[in-house]
């Protein structure tokens, strides 16, 4: 049981700021329903999505006092967000009457102007304590903290966003102050302001979450970013995270006993956790109908033309898995451009439409998603030249079998001898015109599947991540943006892969 004693004089001092509630006649239970990292509006295989989440929130609200909190990463990345920049997400959350949102790094994927536009559309509180405008001011339509009173219990809320947003998203000149220092200061300030419970709604990595816990920067820490399913309690501080996409939803019920004795107020509280598997939940019909309307809109938007290819494109299986392909060059170039990397590698097996496009063909969003159907993301790694060579050796090791690991590349010229044994086939590599240096470190754009060692690319598995999968955008969206910006493209086979 957690206890904390506070002088009554402090509450009198703060009458201008806080509503002073009566001491509790009996303990009060307050529920916190948490979500984080939910950008996919629909369910998948009967699990996740906003409609199922809405059912959980409504059921908890029917039981008693409830706060619905969102720990960030929601307006991106998704198929429709690539088109409407997250407008549909804010609309859905408005309908669900969200109580608190703290922005995640993906809220800045489309730049600061889109961030401000989406936050301006929110009818729910957006709490951010460490994000500041370039002039140091609080971002418009956000608050530094929020204090709410529920049946005599005063709850102080602050929000934090990972400082890595500077490098993994596009926040412009937005300032991200130290999460741990801001959290410690806010925790102390809210307690001094009379909060009975301090709640941190944060989008930060687990290491920083635990630093907040160890420093007692809050009583309850509701986190996102790592996409863990987590309910932690060390006897003093709670830390939870609800996986991703509302597939699982953590409910934290806090029973608060607030009493007066000898002129002092004592607050005792204890948490109780429930993890809801959304597969067991019936979707809320109202939110399900809204999601369906947006899915219909997406279907229509996917048919929209994005550009014209002056050259023929060939995504047939034998082509993308056995030779340099113009469409492979297009995709690899788009990935490289999206994350500003020196080179790019993607696996031919991830290019799936198995069709030919004649020169002059008009490309649509649907074409791109047909070619890249797996929802892979573009990540950015740091690899040595030696690891890059090892990866290419693996990529060409099963060429005769038309294996999906065959590499489509950008920024590279690779000379390959298929008469040699696997592992000895790469004769030479040029990186942007210069010979590969085994000791030098290169920045690499690839997909999250290969980055995790998939398709035999074990050389990438332990590489340093500059943009990790949780921070990355959809490959398909990167290709769509690349073609849309260019309007007219002319990718061709140009000698990036040379067979001896």
Q: Quickly list DSSP for 415-439.
A: EE-TTSPTTS-EEEEEETTEE--TT
The count of other CB atoms within 10 Å of the CB of residue 94 is 13
What pLDDT is recorded for position 14? Answer: 31
What pLDDT is recorded for position 286? Answer: 98
Do 180 and 73 sit in the same domain of this protein?
Answer: yes
What is the crossing angle of helices 285-301 and 50-63, to 10°?
160
Do 311 and 245 sit in the same domain of this protein?
Answer: no
Buried b (16+ CB within 10 A) or exposed e, 134-165: eeeeebeebbbbbbbebbbbbbbbbbbbbbbb
- Which residues span the domain enclosing 344? 305-499
The band of 24, judged by pLDDT with boundaries at 50, 70 and 90, is low
Six token digits for residue 243: 């996986």
C-alpha closest to that of 150 among 253, 6, 1: 253
Over 60: is that where the pLDDT of 18 sits? Answer: no
Concatenating the DSSP letter of every residue in 301-324 gives HTTSEEEEESS-EE--HHHHTTS-
Do 233 and 319 sit in the same domain of this protein?
Answer: no
The β-bridge partners of 378 are: 447, 473
Do 35 and 181 sit in the same domain of this protein?
Answer: yes
| 56: alpha, beta or left? (left if phi > 0; alpha if psi -120 to 50) | alpha
C-alpha closest to that of 479 among 349, 319, 309: 309
The CATH number of whichever domain residue 376 belongs to comes to 3.90.780.10
Do 268 and 336 sit in the same domain of this protein?
Answer: no
The CATH number of whichever domain residue 133 belongs to comes to 3.60.21.10
The last residue of one of the domains, among 273, 298, 323, is: 298
d(CA 252, CA 14): 29
pLDDT tens-digit series, residues 390-445? 999 999 999 999 999 999 999 999 999 999 999 999 999 999 999 999 999 999 99
Over 60: is that where the pLDDT of 8 sits? Answer: no
C-alpha closest to that of 307 among 85, 482, 476, 78: 482
What pLDDT is recorded for position 264? Answer: 86
Do 395 and 282 sit in the same domain of this protein?
Answer: no
C-alpha closest to that of 74 among 230, 242, 208, 206: 242
pLDDT tens-digit series, residues 100-139? 999 999 999 999 999 999 999 999 999 999 999 999 999 9
The band of 260, judged by pLDDT with boundaries at 50, 70 and 90, is confident
Six token digits for residue 40: 């996919």
What pLDDT is recorded for position 265? Answer: 86
Instruction: Give the sign of the dihedral formed by CA 116, CA 121, CA 485, CA 472.
Output: positive
Q: How far is CA 195 from CA 21, 188, 219, in A?
A: 12, 10, 11
pLDDT tens-digit series, residues 219-242? 999 999 999 999 999 999 999 999
C-alpha closest to that of 254 among 469, 98, 28, 101: 28
Among the residue ranges 285-289, 321-325, 373-377, the one predicted with the least confidence is 373-377
d(CA 323, CA 496): 10
Do 236 and 337 sit in the same domain of this protein?
Answer: no
Do 53 and 108 sit in the same domain of this protein?
Answer: yes
Dihedrals phi, psi of 58, to nearest 5 degrees: -65, -40
What pLDDT is recorded for position 25? Answer: 67
d(CA 160, CA 172): 18
Structural contact between residues 190 and 207, judged by C-beta atoms closer than 8 angstroms? no
What pLDDT is recorded for position 7? Answer: 34
Residues contacting residue 233 through CB under 8 Å, at least 6 positions apart: 239, 271, 273
- Taking CA 478 as the corner, what is the angle to CA 301 and CA 179, rounded to the nearest 5 degrees? 110
The last residue of one of the domains, among 283, 298, 313, is: 298
Q: What is the mean pLDDT of residues 306-330?
A: 97
What pLDDT is recorded for position 10? Answer: 29
Domain total of the chain: 2
Do 235 and 337 sit in the same domain of this protein?
Answer: no
C-alpha closest to that of 41 among 1, 2, 79: 79
pLDDT tens-digit series, residues 365-389? 999 999 998 889 999 999 999 999 9
Over 70: is that where the pLDDT of 2 sits? Answer: no
The count of other CB atoms within 10 Å of the CB of residue 178 is 13
- In eight-state DSSP terms, residue 463 is P
Do 311 and 446 sit in the same domain of this protein?
Answer: yes
Six token digits for residue 61: 């609200």
C-alpha neighbours within 13 Å on the C-beta side of residue 14: 19
Do 60 and 183 sit in the same domain of this protein?
Answer: yes
- In eight-state DSSP terms, residue 127 is B
C-alpha closest to that of 463 among 444, 447, 449, 439: 444
The last residue of one of the domains, among 256, 278, 298, is: 298
Whether the model pTM is above 0.85: no
pLDDT tens-digit series, residues 147-184? 999 999 999 999 999 999 998 899 999 999 999 999 99
Over 70: is that where the pLDDT of 11 sits? Answer: no
Q: What is the mean pLDDT of the chain?
A: 94
Do 344 and 484 sit in the same domain of this protein?
Answer: yes
| 231: alpha, beta or left? (left if phi > 0; alpha if psi -120 to 50) | beta
């Amino acid at each position: 049981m957690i206890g904390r004693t506070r002088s009554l004089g402090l509450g009198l001092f703060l009458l201008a700021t806080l509503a002073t509630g009566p001491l509790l006649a009996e303990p009060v239970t307050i529920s916190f329903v948490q979500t984080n990292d939910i950008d996919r509006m629909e369910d998948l295989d009967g699990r996740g999505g906003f409609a199922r989440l809405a059912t959980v929130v409504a059921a908890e609200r029917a039981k008693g006092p409830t706060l619905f909190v969102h720990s960030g990463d929601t307006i991106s990345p998704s198929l429709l967000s690539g088109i409407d920049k997250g407008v549909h997400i804010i609309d859905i959350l408005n309908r669900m009457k969200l109580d608190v949102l703290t922005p995640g790094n993906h809220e800045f994927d489309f730049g600061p102007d889109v961030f401000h536009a989406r936050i301006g559309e929110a009818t729910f509180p957006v709490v951010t304590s460490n994000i500041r405008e370039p002039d140091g001011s609080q971002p418009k339509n956000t608050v530094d903290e929020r204090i709410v009173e529920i049946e005599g219990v005063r709850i102080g809320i602050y929000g934090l966003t990972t400082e890595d947003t500077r490098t993994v998203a596009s926040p412009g000149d937005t300032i991200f102050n130290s999460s741990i220092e801001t959290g410690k200061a806010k925790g102390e300030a809210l307690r001094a302001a009379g909060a009975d419970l301090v709640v941190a709604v944060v989008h930060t990595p687990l290491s920083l979450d635990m630093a907040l816990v160890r420093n007692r920067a809050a009583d309850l820490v509701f986190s996102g970013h790592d996409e863990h399913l987590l309910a932690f309690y060390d006897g003093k501080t709670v830390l939870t995270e609800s996986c991703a996409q509302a597939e699982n939803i953590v409910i934290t019920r806090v029973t608060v006993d607030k009493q007066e004795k000898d002129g002092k107020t004592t607050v005792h509280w204890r948490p109780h956790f429930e993890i809801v598997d959304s597969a067991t939940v019936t979707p809320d019909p109202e939110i399900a109908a809204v999601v369906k309307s947006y899915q219909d809109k997406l279907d229509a938007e996917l048919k929209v033309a994005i550009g014209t290819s002056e050259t023929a494109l060939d995504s047939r299986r034998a082509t993308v898995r056995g030779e340099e392909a113009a469409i492979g060059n297009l995709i690899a170039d788009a990935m490289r451009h999206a994350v500003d990397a020196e080179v790019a590698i993607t696996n031919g097996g991830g290019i799936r439409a198995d069709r030919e496009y004649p020169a002059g063909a008009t490309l649509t969003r649907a074409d791109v998603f047909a070619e890249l159907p797996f929802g892979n993301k573009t990540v950015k790694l740091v690899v040595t030249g030696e690891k890059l060579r090892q990866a290419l050796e693996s990529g060409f090791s099963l060429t005769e079998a038309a294996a999906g690991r065959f590499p489509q590349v950008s920024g590279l010229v690779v000379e390959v001898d298929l008469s040699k044994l696997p592992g000895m086939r790469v004769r030479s590599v040029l990186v942007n015109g210069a010979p590969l240096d085994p000791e030098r470190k290169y920045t690499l754009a690839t997909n999250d599947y290969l980055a995790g060692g998939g398709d035999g690319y074990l050389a990438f598995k332990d590489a340093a991540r500059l943009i990790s999968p949780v921070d990355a955008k959809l490959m398909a969206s990167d290709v769509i943006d690349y073609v849309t910006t260019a309007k007219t493209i002319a990718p061709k086979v140009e000698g990036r892969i040379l067979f001896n």
